[in-house]
């Protein structure tokens, strides 16, 4: 029974970590899109390229 509990806790921990990682990735992606929009509005080509490259690495 103890081995099953340890396994369950490990799986629960892994699932929580995966959910957390996905939430962080989604948040960062949305922030990058906002910054890309600002760079486009400002005509800042360098920032636009930097942000699109960062977005590519996230996906």
State the DSSP string of 29-52.
Answer: HHHHHHHHHHHHHHT-HHHHHHHH
Q: Counting runs of H as helices and runs of E as strands, what totals does the chain give?
A: 2, 0
Looking at residue 27, its pLDDT comes to 97
Provide the residue-wise pLDDT of the chain in tens; the chain has 59 residues: 688 888 999 999 999 999 999 999 999 999 999 999 999 999 999 999 999 999 999 98
pLDDT at 1: 61
Q: Is the pTM of this model over 0.75?
A: yes
């Amino acid at each position: 029974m103890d081995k099953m509990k340890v396994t369950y806790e490990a799986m629960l921990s892994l699932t929580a970590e995966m959910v957390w990682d996905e939430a962080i990735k989604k948040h960062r992606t949305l922030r990058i899109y906002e910054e890309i929009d600002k760079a486009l509005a400002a005509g800042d080509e360098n920032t636009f390229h930097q942000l699109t490259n960062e977005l590519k690495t996230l996906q």
